[in-house]
Amino acid sequence: MEMAPNKTLIYPVAAFLSSFRRRMTISSLAMLIALLCLSSSATLAQLATTPPMGWNSWNHFGAKVSDADVRAAADALVATGLRDSGYLYVNIDDGWQGKRIDSGELTPNERFPDMRALADYVHARGLKLGIYSSPGAVTCAGNEGSMGHEERDARTFATWGVDYLKYDICSYRKILDRDAHGDPEVAQRMMFAVFERMNSALRATGRPIVYSVSQHGLSRGWTWANQAGANLWRTGDDVRDNYLSVTEIGFAQGGLSKFAGPGHWNDPDMLEIGNGGLTPDEGRTQLSLWSLLAAPLLAGNDLSTMDADSLTILNNREVLSIDQDPAGRQGNRLWTEGSLEIWARDLTGGSVAVGLFNRSQGPTDIPLDLKLLGLKNATKVRDEWQHRNLAPIQGSRTFRVAPHGVVLLVIHP
């Protein structure tokens, strides 16, 4: 005999199955969202795993930079082989901004007719595009800043295809002076807030954008900028195109190594090599010291007209490999006597990069005692500028160093 369906049993089961399927759908969607978030976080976490390398427009072109200048720099990075050596970022500094339209969108000025097309041009050459703004109402050159427009500007940058943002404190200093009342803790909290605000806006776009904080070393930025989301932060004032400025900034970086590592770097500012104010020996000094510091390497010269010496210095892949060592350990000063200094940096695989610097105006002998490195002997010694292997070192050796020059070694125990 056929039994009638038991509605008291069937309907609760159907309801249960429907509810189960609904919960599974919601659970699956939540899991998918979580996976996408994890994927996005992983992508962002991989930003600047080694110090960024590339070119920045400011040191040579200032606020007069144009679309044509940026395209020429991109072409030169490719033609000179610098791109293949790791110089990937083509960064437009201050001077690109036009006006805000009624919607609040910031538009480029007449020298940059189509920023998306410029980004496409740069990307097509295997390079990345950087741009510049400020947490203040105006930038250092008096152009539109991002104050009150952080989310909108971040979306605009992402839409254009920007890969790097330099965020320069500029006019926000006036607000610090007005509202912090000379209290360094208040000033630090204020800076953290404005820099973190732009970081949140950048991350909300979903586009991986390297975030460079330029607070000129104020409020010991190395102690907090990473927590504000920065991938690199300035440790001092602007570098100038002369040996005194380069060395005053570069040799003041001692003691900051614990704040640097993959994804977060101390930034002593851009390279001046090729701008005319440094001799070849002084240029080698800057690149050597910056590489020992695991510093970002952003050329600041006119790449399309640089001389052979400047290209040879910038394109020394042995030196660049020190800067880009994947362990990301920043070097430190080991020894100083008068105008002579020895700096060293531990590298992957147990080798050590050592720079012997002569800051005097005459050639000088600098002794290297391996005890400074915790070693007794060195079985392999490589001169990174001479591109040759030297005899093993037993205990110590003295090196002749040119005035304002450097001997840069990689030593294997």
Which tens digit of pLDDT belongs to each residue from 190-227?
999 999 999 999 999 999 999 999 999 999 999 999 99
404 and 352 Cβ atoms separated by less than 8 Å: no
Q: Is the pLDDT at 257 greater than 50, yes or no?
A: yes
Work out whether the CA dihedral 21, 23, 27, 29 comes out positive or negative.
positive
- Give the β-pairing of 89-91 and 53-56: parallel
DSSP 3-state of 366:
strand
> Which of residues 5 and 339 earns the better pLDDT score?
339
C-alpha 36/C-alpha 167 separation (Å) is 28
Question: Can you give the pLDDT at residue 45?
Answer: 55
Mean pLDDT of 368-394: 97
Is 238 assigned a catalytic role?
yes
Kind of pairing between the strands at 364-369 and 396-401: antiparallel
Half-sphere exposure of 282 toward its Cβ, with a 13 Å CA cutoff?
A: 21
Taking alpha carbons only, the member of 353, 359, 281, 284 closest to residue 323 is 353
Q: Is 307 labeled as catalytic in the residue annotation?
A: no
* Rounded Cα distance, 279 and 227, in Å: 39
Q: Give the rounded percent of residues in the chain with a pLDDT score beyond 70.
A: 89
Question: Residues 52-62: pLDDT tens digits?
Answer: 999 999 999 99
Closest CA to 283 of 320, 241, 220: 241
List domains and CATH numbers for the chain.
Answer: 53-323 (3.20.20.70), 332-412 (2.60.40.1180)
**Burial code of 292-311, b = ≥16 C-beta within 10 A, e = fewer?**
bbbbbbbbbbbbeebeeebb
Determine the 3-state secondary structure of 228 from DSSP. Answer: coil
Residue type at 361 in one-letter notation: Q
| Structure tokens given for 79 | 């033609």
Residue 392, CA atoms < 13 Å, CB-side half-sphere: 9
Catalytic residue among 238, 309, 369, 383: 238
In this prediction, residue 26 carries a pLDDT of 40
**Spatial CA neighbour of 369 closest among 345, 342, 388, 350:** 342
Q: Which two tokens mark 378?
A: 């060195």
| pLDDT tens sequence across 261-294 | 999 999 999 999 999 999 999 999 999 999 999 9
Report the alpha-carbon distance of residue 117 to residue 114 in Å, rounded.
Answer: 5
Q: Among 69, 153, 168, 346, which one carries the catalytic annotation?
A: 168
